[in-house]
Amino acid sequence: MLPGLGYFLLFHYGALAGNVIAFKDYVPFDGIWGSPWVGLGNFQRMFQDAEFWDAVLNTLWIAVLQIVFYFPVPLALALLLHTLTWTTVRRFVQSVAYLPHFISWVIVVALFQQVLGDTGLVNGYLGDAALSTVDIIGNPDAFRPLTVAQVIWKDAGWGTIIFLAALSQVDEQQYEAAAIDGAGPWRRFWHVTLPAIRPVIVLLLIMRLGDILSVGFEQMLLQRDAVGPEAAEIIDTFVYYQGMVGGDYGFAAAAGLFKGVIGALLVYAANKVAHRLGEQGVYK
Amino acid sequence: MSSTPLSRRALMRTAAVGAVAIAAPVGLTGCSTESRGDGVSNAGKKLAPWPAYKAFAGPKPDLAPTAEGVQPGYTSYPADLARSVSRTPGDGSTVKVMSVSFGTPPKPASANKFWQAVEKALGVKIEYTVISQTDYQKKMATVMAGDPGELPDIINIFSGFALPREAQFVQRRAEDLTPFLSGDAVEDYPNLANIPTHAWRDMGRIGGRIYGIPLERPLPGSTLWLNDEYFEDAGMKEGWTDQDFAAVAKKGTGGKKYALGAAVGSVFGDGFHSAAHGVHARGWSAKSDGTFLPVVADERYKQMLDFQLGLRKAGSYHPDATSISQIDMIALYYNGTVGSLQDGFGGYLPKFLERGRKYTPAPALPYSVGGTPGGIVGARRSFGYTVVKKAKKERVQLLLRILDYLAAPFGSKEWELVHYGVEGTHFTRAEDGSPEPNALGQVENNTNLPLKYLAEGPQALFVPGMPDAVKALHAWQVKTVPHAVRNASYGLQSRTYTDRGTTLETLLKDTATGIIAGRTPLSEWDATVKTWRQRGGDRMAEEFAKDYAANN
């Protein structure tokens, strides 16, 4: 217990004090206390900054797309895997589906570029066959669906782990009883499987809401130049460009803090809703 | 959703951040000190005189330099190398150095004969932090924010990026070299005295003082490097117009070949095109009354954007121009996939030496626009500069002696050691006497151990074993150097630029790239310039003008 507590105190709660630079014009070589206070100046500037709102909007768009199109995929995949009774095949499929999670975003983005890019595999074939080529990579309009596709390819397999664990907890006898009562596969799913794993689904959804404003920093950063900030600037890349690249640390910290507050409020609100609906949520 | 689904930490983090934010007192009134940062300006300061220039009496060039900025050219390697340093500069102590690098990391000192030879000649142990060019900005951000006691003794401030608050950092953390270098004081370091004044001037003073040693560079800057035969075949002719250029680019594109290569961050190579249109890309021009005008508000830059948009629409650019790295694009240039790419003029040597290539690299002549002859990019004559960590007088003098050694000019024994290593170990002599790297010299050299970014003598045109290349480059310079388009802000200080320059530049580059890529309408440009002006562009104009007045 104690080492864990120490870890959190030092690296999480302690580090939080650094957020104070959001209220300062922070100059690294003057130090935190040597930098002048600017009050809410950084926030004021941020709320008046059109690019910041573009980044917020992009983040929300991508987050919503991910919740709608990505979130159900691991669940579906887990259910599918769960129905496989031949364990050798099941383990093999599971491993293959996990693997992309361990490939870094740099590689994933390069892979997509090599396959779908203007000079990539698909367009190479299409060009050779004198067919019209597809404009996907570097096309801002195709960017949002592309990012969701990338996330599905990379992380859907990984996301099944918790669902599979939950599914394995479902009592086999319930299925048997349901089957004896004449329930088909669909009814067994609806009346046995789903109620059993609902708490996990709700839990993960709430956690996801808390992280809603984090939609893949590396993924976006790597592709931002190709499609431009109008399509690919998210809050995290905005913070990176203002803070790390631009050296405007106080301003960037303000944007990061904004993100954290929204995330905390969303978790709180979603948890309340879950309680109302009789679910356990993340905490009581 | 790239994070793991069940992240308790993420939850606690977000929740706790919220708690702190709520607890934070609202309405903390600012007590900002406005004076902070103004110290970098040269306005109203007593200006330290530039180091007195004293030319090195070395081998005579075969092709003469001009006062306008054409470089001296050597068609063969000087037979009699001069000595430019009389005694070993070091005292056996350890010196920590840090610089940018465009090569692969060097072998460790213990297994690197080149490194050892340089250490022996300098009389010090060198601990080298080599930063790859792609990591430079991030690494410097942490170095600048870090503990001042941990700074290396010698730091190269590379000009490829605007580092946030660079001038303030240098002023706060680096030794003021004025007492050691200003005026006649530089005499103690003859190779530093051999660095021409234009390099010092473009490095600039900070708060009226001299803080660094410039890396001298030729006047031609970003250059469109052609595959000469490729462009000849596509119909290139001397005295071409913008329309000719577009036609040649279109004709030269087909199959899987593209006439124009460009790398991410280069705005489709807008440097070359801007100069041809008579302006310095995203730079400044000074009017005769001393007011500063931003190029981005110049109609010619907008016209240039429209022209590049046309090139892109015609399909003449390699499709990956907004995502591919410069290193990968150079590989495509070498293998003939692209017929051209924008790169520094100073990068001519590897282009000529590239093995297995079957064509002639050539800097492009600018095209004319509407009857007005085009210019070339006038570079900052200092490719960044080198600063020294604050230290005792004797230590600073030792570090300067080391930099003096590294700044040995072409035609000296020291230059040969620092650039090619040891004869017999790293190179053999070709028939004309020029050093030819052997297998070890290909791995152990000053590309991988980038000493040349710590200090370097003034550059001369020389391509070993290729006198024709030197003649062609010299002839190109004679033609184009008089038409170089300079950025009036070189060497001048602006507080807003040092505070917000990087972010403001990103704004401009993002929009310009978007316009040429065809995803942002050209009409957006004026609005972006307006935003840029409000966020600091106008203030920069005032500050540059003030600093300009102080310097002239």
Tell if the CB–CB gap between A207 and B499 is shorter than 8 Å.
no
User: Most B CBs within 10 Å: which of A8, A16, A207, A240, as the mutation test of the B interface?
Assistant: A207
Set of chain A residues whose Cβ sits within 8 Å of the Cβ of B506: 241, 245-246
DSSP characters over B43-79: TTSPPPPPBPP-----PPPSB---TTSPPPB-SS--S
How far is Cα of residue A58 from the mean position of the Cα atoms in its chain? 14
The minimal CB distance from B12 to the residues A12, A38, A268 is found for A12
Is residue B254 scored above 60 in pLDDT? yes
- Provide the pLDDT for residue A242: 87
User: Half-sphere exposure (CA, 13 Å, Cβ side) for B210?
Assistant: 22
**pLDDT category, B22, cuts 50, 70, 90?**
very low
pLDDT in tens, B462-481: 998 899 999 999 999 999 99
The CA-based diameter of chain A, rounded to the nearest angstrom, is 75
Does the pLDDT of residue B64 top 90, yes or no?
yes
Spell out which residues of chain B touch residue A9, defining contact as CB-CB under 8 Å: none
Query: Chain A: nearest CA to B149, how far in angstroms?
Result: 12
Question: Considering CB atoms only, which of B24, B30, B503 is closest to A242?
Answer: B503
The CA angle B418-B463-B70, to the nearest 5 degrees, is 95
Q: How confident is the model at residue B4 (pLDDT cuts 50, 70, 90)?
A: very low
- Please say whether the beta carbons of B501 and B540 come within 8 A: yes
Residue B29 CB burial class (10 angstroms; 0-12, 13-18, ≥19): exposed
Across the interface, whether the CB atoms of A216 and B10 are under 8 A apart is answered no
**pLDDT of the residue at A220:** 93
Q: Report the share of chain B in percent with pLDDT over 70.
A: 93
pLDDT in the model for residue B24 = 38
Hey, is the C-beta of B30 within 8 angstroms of any chain A C-beta?
yes
- Flag if A264 and B27 touch (Cβ within 8 Å): no
B36 has a pLDDT exceeding 70: no
- For the stretch A164-219, pLDDT in tens is 888 888 888 888 888 888 888 888 888 888 888 888 888 888 888 877 788 889 99
Residues making up chain B, counted from first to last: 552
Name residue, tokens 């302690």: A14
Minimum distance, in Å, between the CA of residue A225 and any CA atom of chain B: 6
Please report which confidence band the pLDDT of residue B19 belongs to, taking 50, 70 and 90 as the band edges: very low
Amino acid of residue B168: Q
Is the Cβ pair A207, B322 closer than 8 Å? no
Chain A residues in contact with B144 (beta carbon < 8 A):
28-29
pLDDT bucket at B355, cuts 50 / 70 / 90:
low
On whether any CB of chain B is under 8 Å from the CB of A138, the answer is yes
pLDDT of residue B32: 36
Q: Is the pLDDT of residue B260 over 70?
A: yes
Residue B390: Cβ-neighbour burial (10 angstroms; 0-12, 13-18, 19+): middle
**What number is the average pLDDT over the span B151-169?**
87
CA distance linking residue B365 with residue B361, whole number of Å: 13
A153 and B CB contact within 8 Å: no
Beta bridge partners of B341: B225, B261
Is A29's CB within 8 Å of B144's CB? yes
The residue ranges of DSSP E strands in B331-440, in sequence order, are 340-344, 361-363, 376-377, 382-388, 427-429, 435-437
Q: Report whether pLDDT(B1) > 60.
A: no
Instruction: List the single range of A158-162, A235-239, A277-281, B261-265 with lowest mean pLDDT.
Output: A277-281
Which of B114, B158, B336 is CA-nearest to residue B230? B336
- Given the DSSP bridges, would you call strands B376-377 and B484-485 parallel, antiparallel or unpaired? parallel
Q: What angle do CA B537, B203, B288 make, to 5 degrees?
A: 55
Pairwise CB contact (< 8 Å): A247 & B141: yes
| In contact, B132 and B78? CB cutoff 8 Å | no
- Tell which B residues from 254 to 293 touch A, by Cβ distance under 8 Å: 256, 264-265
pLDDT tens figures, A47-66: 998 889 999 999 999 999 99
Is the complex ipTM higher than 0.90? no
Q: What pLDDT is recorded for position A203? A: 85
Among chain A residues, CA nearest to B151:
A29
Tens of pLDDT, residues B207-246: 999 999 999 999 999 999 999 999 999 999 989 999 999 9
What integer is the mean pLDDT of B481-492?
Answer: 94
Lowest mean pLDDT among A200-204, B94-98, B258-262: A200-204
- pLDDT at position B356 is 64
Select from B6, B17, B24 the Cβ nearest to the Cβ of A260: B17
- Work out the percent of chain B whose per-residue pLDDT is above 90: 74
- pLDDT above 50 (res B350): yes
Q: Which amino acid is at B481?
A: V
What pLDDT does residue B420 have? 93
What are the pLDDT digits (tens) for B433-451? Answer: 889 889 999 899 998 999 9
* Cα–Cα separations (whole angstroms), residue A165 to A93, A207, A217, A283, B168: 16, 17, 28, 20, 56
Sort out which chain B residues have CB atoms less than 8 A from A37's CB and list them. Answer: 28-32
Instruction: Using the predicted structure, report yes or no on whether residue B20 has a pLDDT greater than 70.
Output: no
**Model pLDDT for residues B382-407, shown as the tens digit of each residue:** 999 999 999 999 999 999 999 999 99
Cα–Cα nearest to B55, from B79, B84, B28, B26: B84
Residues of A in contact with B29 (CB under 8 A): 37, 39
- Alpha carbon distance A200, A198 (integer Å): 5
Averaged pLDDT score across all residues of chain B = 89
Contact between A159 and A100 under an 8 Å Cβ cutoff? The reply is no
B16: nearest CB among A16, A30, A39:
A16
Chain A within 8 Å of B9 (Cβ-Cβ)? yes
A22-56: pLDDT as tens digits? 998 888 877 888 888 988 999 998 999 888 999 99
* CA distance to partner chain A, nearest, from residue B304 (Å): 20
- Residues of A within 8 A of B264 (CB-CB) are 225-226
The angle that helices B393-406 and B413-420 make with each other, rounded to 10 degrees, is 80
- Which residues have C-beta within 8 Å of that of residue B215, sequence separation ≥ 6? B156, B199, B382, B383, B384, B385, B386, B452, B453, B455, B456
**Closest alpha carbon within chain B to A73:** B1
- The answer to whether A18 faces chain B, any CB pair under 8 Å, is no
Q: CB of A81 within 8 A of CB of A162?
A: no
Please compute the mean of the pLDDT values over residues A140-153 and round it to a whole number: 92
Most A CBs within 10 Å, among B2, B137, B325, B511, to test the A interface: B2
- Rounded-to-integer distance, Cα B187 and Cα B207, Å: 23
Both structure tokens of B82: 């001069």
What number of helices (H) and strands (E) belong to chain B? 20, 14
> Is the minimum CB–CB distance between B23 and chain A shorter than 8 Å?
no
Query: With an 8 Å Cβ cutoff, is A257 touching chain B?
Result: yes
Helix locations, chain A, DSSP H: 2-7, 14-16, 31-34, 41-47, 50-65, 72-83, 87-98, 105-116, 121-128, 140-168, 172-180, 185-188, 194-210, 217-227, 229-232, 235-240, 249-276
Angle of helix A140-168 versus helix A217-227 axis, rounded to 10: 160
pLDDT at position B175: 96
**Coil vs helix vs strand at B428:** strand
pTM here is 0.81
